[in-house]
């Protein structure tokens, strides 16, 4: 994918991104100042002010950040260090910042922070640094300074209500196609489309129909075997993913979540069950609903990990023989720190696998995969930055491998993408699976 | 000297206490009002139970992963903050002044204990200073104001220590001690020392979000 | 060297003797503020040269300091030189010696503050 957008200056190491660079070229100093102050005055308030006033510059958040750890404790990559280079400076200069500053700030906000919220557990004051970085992203979005690849997904969201430019007929066709495929294995299998009053609306992210269609196949098999009353919509609103939440396009985020919730309402389902994706869960369960003024989602939202837990616990799916390769588990930020599903994930893993070797640190304290928060969606220009920025994940995985783990289970699409790249780059040579992959493989299926 | 003493130990004390309490109250109320106006959902998510749960863990030495990972810092920072608050309140000389002015009194440290605790506060300040200068991740975040704040906190203790031991110039340091204490008190609402007042709210809010919404621990 | 050291010792001893004798004489005057109620002293006893103080302060009446109160009112022309302050001023049994310290401080420091003369800071009366 050697495209012009990937150009990188050899001398300075400066990365050229068409979205950021061209966006900046359009801006005058007056415009910059005006937009920044508009965002600050209209959209920020007590939280921003209190957080900035409370931070005593102690640096204790540093060791929370995988970027900081991966860059040999370079203070520029510490959480507060990144806030210093973005929000502090903007507040100090009252929005009178130049292009050079903004380029750096955009890079920091979009490609050097995954909004993983680990630092909130290391700051004694519980300062929400991810929020502060989000404010920077919001400013960048309002200035039109967003990474090209990420903006492309945001455009897709606004044009199609899904992340991957999947057209309506392509979506329906993908479901039919996977249904047919799966019927070879299980002749009476159905992927019920538009079934009003079904128990569950199964929602996925657009990359599943786009290039991981087998995940839909596997989910269909699992649901059919377990006798789950589910449906998938034929209309836009099926996609639960949300890059607009990460680019700073909150208006669009609101539209996406509205479409998603309304689809669930239209189908009169009792709840939404989501595939193995972390950021989508964050958007549907935690962030998007707030933009729509729902304190909690208007309809219960269950992540796949929790759903598998229910199925196993209730004996709706049975295991023929436990998975025999030793596994380790990547706790995705958005469902561990974001939903506390780590214990349920362990229950599922232990129910499925013979040998489970935990990573260190784990659960809420696990390191981010460095792909989430939209960082992987900034695409090829920043790929190496992302991989270099998570050496510590490679070390963590090597340690798990040294203790016997051969397989990494990552119940999140972003974690998958991130760890896949880390796996190749650092030569980890570990297998990578979703929980669904393993359940599908070892579950009892009707002969 | 009498005029100066009467002034700094009379009207200035009033001024500093009024600024301290009034300022803290103002900062709290303005935060609450602004939150109501701009971040109204904070009120929705703030949870008494989960907020306190998080605060509780963070105010216990070694009660969080972070505290356990940095044992020396944890010991220093807890000792520092505890002494910082206890010494001025339970110092015999201060208690006597309260007794003289308001006829109220309470238990106080023996002079030796207070002397040791004051020394500890000063030592902790030195530790923080060295930390700021030596550790790259702290140095990177440090601006002049951080040194000023540190000096502002250390000054009453250093001058108090000096005065108590009646080292040369102790009459002057006595006056300086009173003024330094007043400056620190008055500065709390208007500098990052406000973290003293905001801590329960920032920590409590994060604890609420983690606990009530995300079903997770934040320590 | 031995001879020289001896001379120095003799001179010092002499000085000490003279000082001791002189202070023995002046012992008849009041030189400290003492009160038997202070069992344990946190600070050294306050040095107080009674006559010199009164001369400097222009005090002629004893009852300015050695006052007598009855039912909250000061009784004129009566004084209490022979009584210790603590005999009357042990009011709040609970928080002694604070209450007693308070009356001493207000008596001395309070007057000094008002008159803008005399010691007011801790070290001035309680030197180490």
- pLDDT tens digits, one per residue of A300-332: 999 999 999 999 999 999 999 999 999 999 999
Q: Which residues of B45-59 are buried (b: 16+ CB within 10 A; e: fewer)?
A: bbbeebbbbbbebbe
Q: Which pLDDT tens digit goes with each residue over B145-167?
A: 999 999 999 999 999 999 999 99
Q: Are residues C22 and C37 in the same domain?
A: no
Q: Are residues C112 and C58 in the same domain?
A: yes
- Planar angle of CA A413, A305, A193, nearest 5 degrees: 75
- What mean pLDDT value characterizes chain A? 96
Architecture of the A319-442 domain: 3-Layer(aba) Sandwich (3.40)
Top-level CATH class of A152-312? mainly alpha
Q: Are residues C8 and C53 in the same domain?
A: no
> pLDDT band at C14, cuts 50/70/90?
low
Q: Which residues constitute the domain of residue C7?
A: 1-29
Q: Are residues C80 and C110 in the same domain?
A: yes
Report the residue from A46, A57, A336 with minimal CB separation from B142.
A57
Q: Are residues C1 and C62 in the same domain?
A: no
Residues of chain A with CATH 1.20.1050: 152-312
Q: List chain B residues with CB under 8 Å of A46.
A: 31-32, 34-35, 38-39, 42
A286 touches chain B (CB under 8 A): yes
Kindly report which listed range (A47-51, B25-29, C25-29) carries the lowest average pLDDT score.
C25-29
Q: Are residues C25 and C36 in the same domain?
A: no
Residues of chain A with CATH 3.40.50: 319-442
Sequence-distant (6+) residues with CB within 8 A of B137 are: A59, A62, A68, A73, A75, A78, A81
> pLDDT band at A188, cuts 50/70/90?
very high
Question: Chain-centre distance of CA C76, in angstroms?
Answer: 24
CA distance A47 to A35: 20
A217 touches chain B (CB under 8 A): no
> pLDDT band at A280, cuts 50/70/90?
very high
Residue C70's pLDDT is what? 86
Q: Residue B174: pLDDT above 60?
A: yes
Q: Which of C122, C125, C126 to mutate to test the interface with B (most CBs of B within 10 A)?
A: C122
Kindly report which listed range (A395-399, B85-89, B197-201, C89-93) carries the lowest average pLDDT score.
C89-93
Q: Residue A369: pLDDT above 60?
A: yes
Contact B39 A120 (CB under 8 A): no
Q: Residue A1: pLDDT above 50?
A: no
CA distance A105 to A95: 13
Across the range A92-114, mean pLDDT stands at 97
Q: Residue C92: pLDDT above 70?
A: no
Domain count, chain C: 2
Q: Residue A341: pLDDT above 60?
A: yes
Across the range B42-62, mean pLDDT stands at 96
Residue with tokens 């609402």: B189
Sequence-distant (6+) residues with CB within 8 A of A359 are: A328, A329, A330, A331, A366, A396, A397, A399, A400
Interface subset of B 64-83, CB within 8 angstroms of A: 64-66, 69-70, 73
Kindly report which listed range (A38-42, A279-283, A400-404, C48-52) carries the lowest average pLDDT score.
C48-52
Across the range A222-241, mean pLDDT stands at 97
Contact A84 B140 (CB under 8 A): yes
Q: Are residues C8 and C69 in the same domain?
A: no
Which residue in chain C is spatially nearest to B107 when comparing CA positions?
C95
Q: Which of residues C12 and C86 earns the better pLDDT score?
A: C86
Q: Residue A5: pLDDT above 50?
A: no
- Planar angle of CA A55, B78, B17, nearest 5 degrees: 65
Report the residue from A50, A76, A121 with minimal CB separation from B140.
A76
Across the range A133-155, mean pLDDT stands at 98
For position C59, which CATH number holds? 3.90.10.10
Residue C82's pLDDT is what? 84
Q: Are residues C62 and C105 in the same domain?
A: yes
Name all chains with 3 or more CB-CB pairs below 8 Å to chain C: B
CA distance A115 to B95: 49
A126 touches chain B (CB under 8 A): yes
> pLDDT band at C81, cuts 50/70/90?
confident
Interface subset of B 80-139, CB within 8 angstroms of A: 135-139
Q: List chain B residues with CB under 8 Å of A43.
A: 38
Q: Are residues C24 and C44 in the same domain?
A: no
Q: Are residues C13 and C47 in the same domain?
A: no
Q: ipTM, 2 decimals?
A: 0.95
Helix locations, A249-323, DSSP H: 250-266, 278-281, 288-291, 304-313
> pLDDT band at A3, cuts 50/70/90?
very low
Chains B and A touch (3+ CB pairs under 8 A): yes
Kindly report which listed range (A183-192, A230-239, C15-24) carries the lowest average pLDDT score.
C15-24
Across the range A165-171, mean pLDDT stands at 96
Residue C4's pLDDT is what? 72
Domain architecture of chain B: domains with CATH: 2-206 (1.20.950)
Q: List chain C residues with CB under 8 Å of B166.
A: 123, 127-128
Altogether, the residues listed in chain B come to a count of: 219
Chains C and A touch (3+ CB pairs under 8 A): no
Candidates C103, C106, C100; CA nearest to C120 is C106
Report the residue from A46, A76, A338 with minimal CB separation from B34.
A46
Contact B93 C122 (CB under 8 A): yes
């Amino acid at each position: 994918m050697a495209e012009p957008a990937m150009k990188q200056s050899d001398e300075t190491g400066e990365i050229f991104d068409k979205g950021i660079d061209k966006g900046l070229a359009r801006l005058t100093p007056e415009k910059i100042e005006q937009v920044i102050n508009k965002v600050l005055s209209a959209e920020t308030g007590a939280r921003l002010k209190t957080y900035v006033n409370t931070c005593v510059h102690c640096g204790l958040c540093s060791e929370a950040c995988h970027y900081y750890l991966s860059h040999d404790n370079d203070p520029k990559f510490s959480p507060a260090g990144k806030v210093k280079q973005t929000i502090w400076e903007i507040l100090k200069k009252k929005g009178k910042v130049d292009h050079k500053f903004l380029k750096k700030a955009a890079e920091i906000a979009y490609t050097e922070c995954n909004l993983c919220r680990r630092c909130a557990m290391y700051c004694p004051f519980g300062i929400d640094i991810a929020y502060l970085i989000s404010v920077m992203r919001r400013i960048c979005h309002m200035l039109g300074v967003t990474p090209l690849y990420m903006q492309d997904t945001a455009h897709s969201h606004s044009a199609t209500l899904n992340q991957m430019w999947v057209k309506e007929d392509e979506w329906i066709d993908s479901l039919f196609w996977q249904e047919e495929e799966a019927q070879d294995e299980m002749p009476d299998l159905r992927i019920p489309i538009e079934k009003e009053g079904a128990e569950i609306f199964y929602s996925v992210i657009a990359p599943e129909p786009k290039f991981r269609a087998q995940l839909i196949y596997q989910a269909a098999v699992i649901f059919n075997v377990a006798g789950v009353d589910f449906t998938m919509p034929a209309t836009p609103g099926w996609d639960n993913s949300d890059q607009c939440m990460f680019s700073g396009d909150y208006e669009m985020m609101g539209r996406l979540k509205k479409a998603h919730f309304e689809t669930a309402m239209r189908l009169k389902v009792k709840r939404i069950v989501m595939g193995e994706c972390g950021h989508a869960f964050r958007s549907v369960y935690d962030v998007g609903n707030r933009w729509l003024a729902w304190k909690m989602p208007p309809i219960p939202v269950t992540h796949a990990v929790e759903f598998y837990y229910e199925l196993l616990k209730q004996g709706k799916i049975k295991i023929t023989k436990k998975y025999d390769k030793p596994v380790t588990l990547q706790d995705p930020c958005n469902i561990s720190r974001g939903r506390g599903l780590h214990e349920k994930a362990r229950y599922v893993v232990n129910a499925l696998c013979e040998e489970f070797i935990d990573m260190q640190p784990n659960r809420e304290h696990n390191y981010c995969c460095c792909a989430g928060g939209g960082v992987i969606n900034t695409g090829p220009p920043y790929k190496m930055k992302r991989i270099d920025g998570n050496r510590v994940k490679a070390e963590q995985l090597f340690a798990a491998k040294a203790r016997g783990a051969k397989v990494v289970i990552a119940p999140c699409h972003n974690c998958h993408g991130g760890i896949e790249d880390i796996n190749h780059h650092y030569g980890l040579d570990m297998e990578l699976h979703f929980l669904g992959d393993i359940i599908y493989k070892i579950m009892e299926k009707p002969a | 000297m009498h005029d100066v003493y009467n002034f700094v130990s009379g009207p200035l004390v009033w001024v500093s206490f009024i600024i301290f309490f009034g300022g803290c109250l103002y900062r709290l109320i303005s935060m609450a009002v602004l939150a109501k106006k701009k971040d109204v959902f904070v009120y929705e998510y703030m949870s008494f139970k989960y907020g306190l749960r998080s605060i509780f863990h963070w105010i216990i030495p070694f009660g969080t992963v972070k505290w356990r990972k940095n044992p020396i810092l944890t010991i220093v920072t807890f000792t520092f903050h505890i002494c910082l608050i206890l010494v001025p309140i339970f110092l015999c000389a201060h208690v006597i002044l309260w007794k003289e002015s308001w006829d109220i009194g309470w238990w106080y440290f023996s002079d030796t204990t207070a002397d040791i605790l004051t020394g500890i506060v000063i030592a902790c300040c030195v530790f923080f200073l060295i930390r700021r200068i030596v550790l790259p991740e702290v140095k990177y975040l440090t601006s002049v104001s951080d040194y000023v704040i540190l000096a502002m906190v250390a000054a009453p203790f250093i001058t108090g220590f000096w005065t108590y031991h009646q080292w040369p110039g102790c009459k002057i340091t006595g006056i300086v001690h009173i003024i330094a204490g007043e400056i620190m008190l008055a500065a709390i609402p208007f500098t990052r020392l406000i973290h003293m007042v905001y801590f329960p709210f920032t920590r409590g809010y994060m604890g609420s979000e983690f606990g009530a919404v995300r079903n997770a621990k934040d320590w | 060297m031995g001879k020289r050291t001896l001379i120095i010792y003799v001179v010092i001893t002499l000085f000490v003797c003279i000082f001791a004798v002189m202070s023995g004489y002046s012992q008849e005057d009041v030189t400290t503020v003492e009160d038997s109620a202070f069992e344990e002293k946190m600070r050294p006893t306050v040095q107080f040269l009674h006559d010199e103080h009164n001369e400097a302060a222009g005090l002629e009446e004893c009852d300015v300091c050695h006052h007598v109160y009855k039912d909250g009112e000061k009784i004129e022309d009566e004084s209490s030189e022979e009584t210790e302050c603590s005999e009357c001023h042990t009011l709040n049994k609970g928080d002694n010696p604070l209450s007693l310290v308070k009356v001493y401080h207000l008596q001395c420091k309070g007057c000094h503050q008002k008159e803008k003369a005399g010691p007011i800071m801790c070290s001035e009366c309680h030197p180490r």
